[in-house]
Amino acid sequence: MEKVPTRLNVAPVPPDEIFALNGAFFADTHPQKVSLGVGVYRTDDGKPWPLPAVEKAEKQLAEENDLMRHEYTAIEGDVPFLKIARDLMFGFEGKASEEPAKARIASVQTVAGTGANHLGALFLAHHMKPRNVWLSNPSWANHMTIWELAGVPRKTYPYYHAATRSFDFDGMMSTLENDAEEGDAVLLHACAHNPTGLDPNKEQWIAIADLCERKKLFPFFDSAYQGFASGSLEEDAWAVRYFFDNKPDMEMCVAQSFSKNMGLYGQRTGAFHYITNRSATSIRDVVVNNLCHLIRGEFSMGPRIGCTIVKKIMSSEELTADWHNDLQVMSSRIKSMREALYNELVRLKTPGTWEHIVEQNGMFSYTGLTPKQVYALKDKYHVYLLKSGRASISGLSQKNVAYVALAIDDVVRNVL
Protein backbone atom coordinates (compact mmCIF):
# COMPACT_ATOMS: atom_id res chain seq x y z
CA MET A 1 0.00 0.00 0.00
CA GLU A 2 1.32 3.42 -0.92
CA LYS A 3 1.89 5.68 2.07
CA VAL A 4 -0.01 8.96 1.98
CA PRO A 5 2.05 11.79 3.47
CA THR A 6 0.45 13.71 6.33
CA ARG A 7 0.20 17.47 6.38
CA LEU A 8 0.80 17.48 10.12
CA ASN A 9 4.11 18.52 11.60
CA VAL A 10 3.92 16.89 15.01
CA ALA A 11 6.35 15.33 17.43
CA PRO A 12 5.68 13.51 20.69
CA VAL A 13 5.38 15.67 23.79
CA PRO A 14 6.21 14.33 27.23
CA PRO A 15 3.20 12.94 29.14
CA ASP A 16 1.93 15.01 32.03
CA GLU A 17 3.93 13.75 35.00
CA ILE A 18 1.15 14.01 37.57
CA PHE A 19 -1.45 12.13 35.53
CA ALA A 20 1.10 9.54 34.39
CA LEU A 21 2.16 8.97 37.99
CA ASN A 22 -1.46 8.63 39.07
CA GLY A 23 -2.06 6.07 36.33
CA ALA A 24 0.96 4.05 37.48
CA PHE A 25 -0.31 4.17 41.06
CA PHE A 26 -3.74 2.80 40.11
CA ALA A 27 -2.11 0.01 38.10
CA ASP A 28 0.05 -0.98 41.09
CA THR A 29 -1.39 -3.91 43.04
CA HIS A 30 0.96 -3.66 46.04
CA PRO A 31 -1.09 -3.63 49.28
CA GLN A 32 0.97 -0.85 50.90
CA LYS A 33 1.13 1.52 47.93
CA VAL A 34 0.83 5.22 48.80
CA SER A 35 -0.07 8.07 46.44
CA LEU A 36 1.65 11.37 47.27
CA GLY A 37 1.40 12.69 43.74
CA VAL A 38 -1.97 14.07 42.69
CA GLY A 39 -3.21 17.20 44.45
CA VAL A 40 -6.58 16.10 45.78
CA TYR A 41 -7.80 15.90 49.35
CA ARG A 42 -8.15 12.46 50.87
CA THR A 43 -9.54 11.30 54.21
CA ASP A 44 -7.47 9.42 56.75
CA ASP A 45 -8.80 6.26 55.09
CA GLY A 46 -7.34 7.42 51.79
CA LYS A 47 -10.75 7.99 50.23
CA PRO A 48 -12.25 11.01 48.43
CA TRP A 49 -14.23 13.34 50.68
CA PRO A 50 -17.28 15.03 49.21
CA LEU A 51 -17.61 17.97 51.56
CA PRO A 52 -20.68 17.64 53.84
CA ALA A 53 -21.70 21.20 52.94
CA VAL A 54 -21.53 20.29 49.26
CA GLU A 55 -23.56 17.12 49.81
CA LYS A 56 -26.25 19.11 51.63
CA ALA A 57 -26.31 21.65 48.80
CA GLU A 58 -26.59 18.87 46.21
CA LYS A 59 -29.49 17.31 48.11
CA GLN A 60 -31.34 20.63 48.30
CA LEU A 61 -30.74 21.28 44.61
CA ALA A 62 -32.06 17.82 43.72
CA GLU A 63 -35.21 18.45 45.77
CA GLU A 64 -35.75 21.81 44.09
CA ASN A 65 -35.62 20.11 40.67
CA ASP A 66 -34.98 23.39 38.84
CA LEU A 67 -36.02 22.91 35.22
CA MET A 68 -33.33 25.37 34.13
CA ARG A 69 -30.48 23.41 35.70
CA HIS A 70 -29.14 22.12 32.37
CA GLU A 71 -29.72 25.29 30.35
CA TYR A 72 -27.07 27.64 29.00
CA THR A 73 -25.86 30.51 31.15
CA ALA A 74 -24.46 33.81 29.83
CA ILE A 75 -21.11 33.89 28.04
CA GLU A 76 -19.51 35.62 31.02
CA GLY A 77 -20.98 32.89 33.22
CA ASP A 78 -23.48 32.77 36.03
CA VAL A 79 -23.66 36.40 37.18
CA PRO A 80 -24.80 35.77 40.79
CA PHE A 81 -21.98 33.21 41.14
CA LEU A 82 -19.47 35.75 39.83
CA LYS A 83 -20.51 38.27 42.48
CA ILE A 84 -20.10 35.62 45.18
CA ALA A 85 -16.67 34.59 43.85
CA ARG A 86 -15.56 38.22 43.66
CA ASP A 87 -16.74 39.07 47.16
CA LEU A 88 -15.08 35.94 48.57
CA MET A 89 -11.77 36.75 46.90
CA PHE A 90 -11.63 40.44 47.73
CA GLY A 91 -13.43 40.45 51.08
CA PHE A 92 -16.48 42.51 50.19
CA GLU A 93 -19.34 42.43 52.68
CA GLY A 94 -22.12 44.17 50.77
CA LYS A 95 -21.53 47.68 52.09
CA ALA A 96 -22.42 50.69 49.94
CA SER A 97 -18.94 52.11 50.50
CA GLU A 98 -17.48 49.13 48.62
CA GLU A 99 -19.12 49.98 45.30
CA PRO A 100 -16.24 52.14 43.93
CA ALA A 101 -13.82 49.28 44.63
CA LYS A 102 -16.13 46.72 43.03
CA ALA A 103 -16.30 48.92 39.93
CA ARG A 104 -12.62 48.13 39.30
CA ILE A 105 -13.21 44.38 38.91
CA ALA A 106 -14.17 42.67 35.65
CA SER A 107 -15.16 39.05 36.36
CA VAL A 108 -15.97 36.07 34.16
CA GLN A 109 -16.57 32.39 34.87
CA THR A 110 -13.91 29.90 33.77
CA VAL A 111 -13.24 26.18 33.51
CA ALA A 112 -11.71 25.99 37.00
CA GLY A 113 -8.35 27.48 37.93
CA THR A 114 -6.52 26.10 34.91
CA GLY A 115 -9.08 27.76 32.64
CA ALA A 116 -8.75 31.01 34.57
CA ASN A 117 -4.97 30.96 34.18
CA HIS A 118 -5.28 30.16 30.49
CA LEU A 119 -7.93 32.78 29.78
CA GLY A 120 -5.92 35.41 31.66
CA ALA A 121 -2.72 34.55 29.80
CA LEU A 122 -4.52 34.67 26.46
CA PHE A 123 -6.20 37.98 27.30
CA LEU A 124 -2.92 39.61 28.31
CA ALA A 125 -1.14 38.20 25.26
CA HIS A 126 -3.76 39.80 23.02
CA HIS A 127 -4.35 43.09 24.77
CA MET A 128 -1.34 43.95 26.94
CA LYS A 129 1.39 42.09 25.06
CA PRO A 130 3.90 41.69 27.93
CA ARG A 131 7.48 41.19 26.81
CA ASN A 132 7.81 38.39 29.35
CA VAL A 133 5.96 36.57 32.07
CA TRP A 134 8.00 35.81 35.20
CA LEU A 135 7.29 32.47 36.87
CA SER A 136 8.71 31.26 40.16
CA ASN A 137 11.42 28.61 39.94
CA PRO A 138 9.91 26.12 40.60
CA SER A 139 6.23 26.66 39.83
CA TRP A 140 3.20 24.56 38.99
CA ALA A 141 4.29 22.81 35.80
CA ASN A 142 1.10 23.78 33.99
CA HIS A 143 1.98 27.47 34.30
CA MET A 144 4.80 26.88 31.80
CA THR A 145 2.47 25.15 29.35
CA ILE A 146 -0.27 27.77 29.66
CA TRP A 147 2.03 30.71 28.94
CA GLU A 148 3.85 28.81 26.19
CA LEU A 149 0.54 28.23 24.42
CA ALA A 150 -0.35 31.90 24.88
CA GLY A 151 2.87 32.82 23.08
CA VAL A 152 4.36 34.92 25.87
CA PRO A 153 8.11 34.45 26.53
CA ARG A 154 8.72 32.87 29.93
CA LYS A 155 11.43 33.79 32.41
CA THR A 156 11.90 32.61 35.98
CA TYR A 157 12.78 34.25 39.25
CA PRO A 158 14.48 32.34 42.11
CA TYR A 159 12.02 31.04 44.68
CA TYR A 160 13.39 27.96 46.41
CA HIS A 161 16.72 27.89 48.25
CA ALA A 162 17.65 24.22 48.09
CA ALA A 163 20.40 24.31 50.72
CA THR A 164 18.09 25.63 53.42
CA ARG A 165 14.82 24.38 51.88
CA SER A 166 13.40 27.86 52.34
CA PHE A 167 11.84 30.69 50.34
CA ASP A 168 14.51 32.64 48.44
CA PHE A 169 13.06 36.11 48.98
CA ASP A 170 16.33 37.92 48.31
CA GLY A 171 16.88 36.02 45.07
CA MET A 172 13.36 36.75 43.88
CA MET A 173 13.57 40.46 44.65
CA SER A 174 17.05 40.89 43.18
CA THR A 175 16.12 39.19 39.92
CA LEU A 176 12.88 41.12 39.44
CA GLU A 177 14.60 44.35 40.42
CA ASN A 178 17.46 43.93 37.98
CA ASP A 179 15.92 42.05 35.08
CA ALA A 180 12.16 42.56 34.90
CA GLU A 181 10.96 45.24 32.50
CA GLU A 182 8.03 47.64 32.64
CA GLY A 183 4.91 45.84 31.47
CA ASP A 184 6.17 42.34 32.28
CA ALA A 185 3.69 40.04 34.00
CA VAL A 186 4.69 38.37 37.29
CA LEU A 187 2.92 35.16 38.28
CA LEU A 188 2.36 35.02 42.05
CA HIS A 189 0.82 32.20 44.09
CA ALA A 190 -1.71 33.75 46.48
CA CYS A 191 -1.02 31.13 49.17
CA ALA A 192 0.19 27.53 49.57
CA HIS A 193 2.79 27.83 46.81
CA ASN A 194 2.74 24.86 44.46
CA PRO A 195 5.05 22.91 44.56
CA THR A 196 7.14 24.15 47.49
CA GLY A 197 4.54 24.96 50.16
CA LEU A 198 6.56 28.10 50.96
CA ASP A 199 4.89 31.51 51.05
CA PRO A 200 6.18 35.04 51.59
CA ASN A 201 5.32 36.52 54.98
CA LYS A 202 3.23 39.69 55.12
CA GLU A 203 6.23 42.02 55.24
CA GLN A 204 7.66 40.30 52.19
CA TRP A 205 4.34 40.56 50.35
CA ILE A 206 4.34 44.30 51.04
CA ALA A 207 7.84 44.58 49.57
CA ILE A 208 6.78 42.56 46.49
CA ALA A 209 3.79 44.86 45.98
CA ASP A 210 6.01 47.94 46.28
CA LEU A 211 8.44 46.52 43.72
CA CYS A 212 5.65 45.72 41.25
CA GLU A 213 4.23 49.22 41.61
CA ARG A 214 7.58 50.96 41.28
CA LYS A 215 8.77 48.96 38.28
CA LYS A 216 5.31 48.97 36.66
CA LEU A 217 5.05 45.19 36.59
CA PHE A 218 1.69 43.42 36.21
CA PRO A 219 0.83 41.02 39.09
CA PHE A 220 -1.01 37.87 38.02
CA PHE A 221 -2.27 35.98 41.09
CA ASP A 222 -3.12 32.29 41.00
CA SER A 223 -5.46 31.58 43.94
CA ALA A 224 -6.11 27.85 44.10
CA TYR A 225 -6.27 27.24 47.87
CA GLN A 226 -8.24 30.02 49.56
CA GLY A 227 -9.47 28.63 52.89
CA PHE A 228 -7.93 25.23 52.22
CA ALA A 229 -4.38 26.19 53.16
CA SER A 230 -4.84 27.76 56.60
CA GLY A 231 -8.54 27.16 57.22
CA SER A 232 -9.07 30.93 57.03
CA LEU A 233 -10.52 32.55 53.91
CA GLU A 234 -9.19 35.92 55.04
CA GLU A 235 -5.66 34.74 55.78
CA ASP A 236 -5.29 32.90 52.49
CA ALA A 237 -6.49 35.94 50.52
CA TRP A 238 -4.32 38.42 52.42
CA ALA A 239 -1.81 39.03 49.65
CA VAL A 240 -4.46 39.56 46.95
CA ARG A 241 -6.43 41.93 49.17
CA TYR A 242 -3.32 43.87 50.15
CA PHE A 243 -2.39 44.51 46.53
CA PHE A 244 -5.98 45.43 45.68
CA ASP A 245 -6.59 47.71 48.66
CA ASN A 246 -3.20 49.39 48.90
CA LYS A 247 -2.15 49.72 45.25
CA PRO A 248 -5.29 51.18 43.63
CA ASP A 249 -3.32 52.67 40.73
CA MET A 250 -1.82 49.31 39.76
CA GLU A 251 -3.70 46.90 37.51
CA MET A 252 -3.61 43.17 38.26
CA CYS A 253 -5.61 39.98 37.82
CA VAL A 254 -6.60 36.87 39.79
CA ALA A 255 -7.27 33.31 38.64
CA GLN A 256 -9.62 31.75 41.21
CA SER A 257 -10.40 28.07 41.69
CA PHE A 258 -13.01 26.23 43.78
CA SER A 259 -11.52 22.79 43.11
CA LYS A 260 -9.67 22.43 46.40
CA ASN A 261 -11.66 24.54 48.86
CA MET A 262 -15.04 23.02 47.91
CA GLY A 263 -13.78 19.69 46.61
CA LEU A 264 -15.26 20.48 43.17
CA TYR A 265 -12.39 18.90 41.26
CA GLY A 266 -14.45 17.41 38.44
CA GLN A 267 -17.01 20.22 38.22
CA ARG A 268 -14.33 22.65 36.92
CA THR A 269 -15.51 25.72 38.81
CA GLY A 270 -13.51 28.94 38.68
CA ALA A 271 -13.41 32.64 37.86
CA PHE A 272 -11.05 35.17 36.35
CA HIS A 273 -10.93 38.71 37.70
CA TYR A 274 -9.23 41.59 35.91
CA ILE A 275 -8.69 44.62 38.15
CA THR A 276 -8.40 48.04 36.54
CA ASN A 277 -6.74 50.98 38.24
CA ARG A 278 -9.09 53.33 40.07
CA SER A 279 -9.04 55.93 37.27
CA ALA A 280 -9.92 53.40 34.53
CA THR A 281 -13.12 51.84 35.83
CA SER A 282 -14.90 52.99 32.67
CA ILE A 283 -13.21 50.17 30.74
CA ARG A 284 -14.43 47.39 33.03
CA ASP A 285 -17.35 46.43 30.79
CA VAL A 286 -15.12 46.55 27.73
CA VAL A 287 -12.73 44.17 29.48
CA VAL A 288 -15.61 41.77 30.16
CA ASN A 289 -16.69 42.13 26.53
CA ASN A 290 -13.25 41.17 25.26
CA LEU A 291 -12.96 38.28 27.71
CA CYS A 292 -16.33 37.05 26.47
CA HIS A 293 -15.04 37.19 22.91
CA LEU A 294 -12.25 34.77 23.88
CA ILE A 295 -14.65 32.58 25.89
CA ARG A 296 -17.17 32.34 23.07
CA GLY A 297 -14.52 31.15 20.63
CA GLU A 298 -13.15 28.57 23.04
CA PHE A 299 -15.79 27.05 25.35
CA SER A 300 -18.82 29.36 25.02
CA MET A 301 -19.50 29.54 28.77
CA GLY A 302 -18.47 28.00 32.06
CA PRO A 303 -19.97 24.76 33.45
CA ARG A 304 -23.21 25.21 35.35
CA ILE A 305 -23.36 22.54 38.07
CA GLY A 306 -20.34 23.56 40.15
CA CYS A 307 -21.18 27.25 40.26
CA THR A 308 -24.76 26.37 41.26
CA ILE A 309 -23.41 24.42 44.23
CA VAL A 310 -21.22 27.38 45.23
CA LYS A 311 -24.23 29.70 45.02
CA LYS A 312 -26.38 27.39 47.11
CA ILE A 313 -23.74 27.16 49.85
CA MET A 314 -22.87 30.85 49.93
CA SER A 315 -26.50 32.00 49.93
CA SER A 316 -27.27 30.02 53.10
CA GLU A 317 -25.87 31.02 56.48
CA GLU A 318 -26.18 27.43 57.67
CA LEU A 319 -24.40 25.93 54.66
CA THR A 320 -21.73 28.64 54.73
CA ALA A 321 -21.02 27.83 58.38
CA ASP A 322 -20.86 24.14 57.49
CA TRP A 323 -18.40 24.92 54.69
CA HIS A 324 -16.17 26.89 57.06
CA ASN A 325 -16.12 23.83 59.33
CA ASP A 326 -15.21 21.64 56.34
CA LEU A 327 -12.27 23.93 55.58
CA GLN A 328 -11.07 23.54 59.15
CA VAL A 329 -11.32 19.75 58.88
CA MET A 330 -9.23 19.64 55.71
CA SER A 331 -6.58 22.17 56.73
CA SER A 332 -6.24 20.64 60.21
CA ARG A 333 -5.74 17.14 58.83
CA ILE A 334 -3.04 18.37 56.43
CA LYS A 335 -1.23 20.11 59.29
CA SER A 336 -1.48 17.05 61.54
CA MET A 337 -0.02 14.85 58.79
CA ARG A 338 2.89 17.26 58.36
CA GLU A 339 3.58 17.01 62.08
CA ALA A 340 3.22 13.22 62.08
CA LEU A 341 5.70 12.76 59.21
CA TYR A 342 8.14 15.18 60.80
CA ASN A 343 7.90 13.44 64.17
CA GLU A 344 8.49 10.01 62.61
CA LEU A 345 11.56 11.21 60.71
CA VAL A 346 12.95 12.78 63.90
CA ARG A 347 12.25 9.57 65.83
CA LEU A 348 14.09 7.57 63.18
CA LYS A 349 16.96 10.08 63.27
CA THR A 350 16.77 10.32 59.50
CA PRO A 351 19.86 12.17 58.23
CA GLY A 352 19.30 15.83 57.40
CA THR A 353 16.90 18.42 58.74
CA TRP A 354 13.16 18.08 58.29
CA GLU A 355 11.73 21.22 59.92
CA HIS A 356 10.72 22.46 56.47
CA ILE A 357 7.92 19.88 56.38
CA VAL A 358 6.08 21.62 59.23
CA GLU A 359 7.13 25.11 58.19
CA GLN A 360 5.64 24.72 54.73
CA ASN A 361 1.98 25.43 54.07
CA GLY A 362 -0.91 23.82 52.24
CA MET A 363 -1.29 20.59 50.33
CA PHE A 364 2.26 20.18 49.04
CA SER A 365 5.70 19.73 50.52
CA TYR A 366 8.98 20.10 48.68
CA THR A 367 10.64 17.29 50.58
CA GLY A 368 14.20 17.80 49.36
CA LEU A 369 14.42 14.22 48.08
CA THR A 370 16.44 13.71 44.90
CA PRO A 371 15.03 12.12 41.71
CA LYS A 372 17.00 8.93 42.43
CA GLN A 373 15.51 8.76 45.92
CA VAL A 374 12.03 9.37 44.51
CA TYR A 375 12.45 6.54 42.00
CA ALA A 376 13.70 4.27 44.80
CA LEU A 377 10.63 5.09 46.89
CA LYS A 378 8.40 4.03 44.02
CA ASP A 379 10.34 0.93 42.97
CA LYS A 380 11.08 -0.46 46.44
CA TYR A 381 8.25 0.85 48.61
CA HIS A 382 5.48 1.72 46.11
CA VAL A 383 5.36 5.29 47.43
CA TYR A 384 4.55 7.66 44.57
CA LEU A 385 5.61 11.33 44.41
CA LEU A 386 6.92 13.67 41.73
CA LYS A 387 10.56 13.40 40.67
CA SER A 388 11.12 16.93 42.00
CA GLY A 389 10.45 15.54 45.48
CA ARG A 390 7.06 17.28 45.73
CA ALA A 391 4.71 15.28 47.93
CA SER A 392 0.98 15.74 48.36
CA ILE A 393 0.61 15.62 52.14
CA SER A 394 -3.06 14.71 51.75
CA GLY A 395 -1.97 11.21 50.72
CA LEU A 396 -0.56 10.59 54.21
CA SER A 397 -2.68 9.02 56.92
CA GLN A 398 -2.35 7.61 60.41
CA LYS A 399 -2.20 4.19 58.77
CA ASN A 400 0.67 4.86 56.36
CA VAL A 401 2.73 7.73 57.75
CA ALA A 402 5.10 5.47 59.70
CA TYR A 403 5.60 3.30 56.60
CA VAL A 404 6.32 6.37 54.44
CA ALA A 405 8.77 7.72 57.02
CA LEU A 406 10.61 4.38 57.13
CA ALA A 407 10.80 4.37 53.35
CA ILE A 408 12.17 7.93 53.27
CA ASP A 409 14.66 7.08 55.99
CA ASP A 410 15.92 4.12 53.97
CA VAL A 411 16.37 5.97 50.68
CA VAL A 412 17.99 8.98 52.36
CA ARG A 413 20.53 6.69 54.03
CA ASN A 414 21.20 4.43 51.06
CA VAL A 415 20.43 6.27 47.80
CA LEU A 416 22.62 9.22 46.88
Catalytic residue IDs: 140, 222, 260
Residue of 29, 51, 52 lying closest to 40 (CA atoms) = 51
What string of DSSP letters covers 329-380? HHHHHHHHHHHHHHHHHHHTT-SS--HHHHHS-SSEEE----HHHHHHIIII
DSSP, collapsed to helix, strand or coil, labels residue 160 as: strand
Phi, psi (5° rounding) for residue 185? -90, 145
**Interstrand relation of 390-392 and 364-366 (parallel, antiparallel or unpaired):** antiparallel
CA distances from 227 to 118, 139, 308, 310, 400 (A): 23, 21, 19, 14, 26
- Residues 94, 87: Cα–Cα separation, whole Å: 8
What string of DSSP letters covers 131-156? S-EEEEES--HHHHHHHHHHT--EEE
- Residues 117, 314: Cα–Cα separation, whole Å: 24
H or E stretch covering 253: strand 252-257
CA distances from 217 to 133, 206, 253, 257, 315 (A): 10, 14, 12, 24, 37
H or E stretch covering 309: helix 305-314
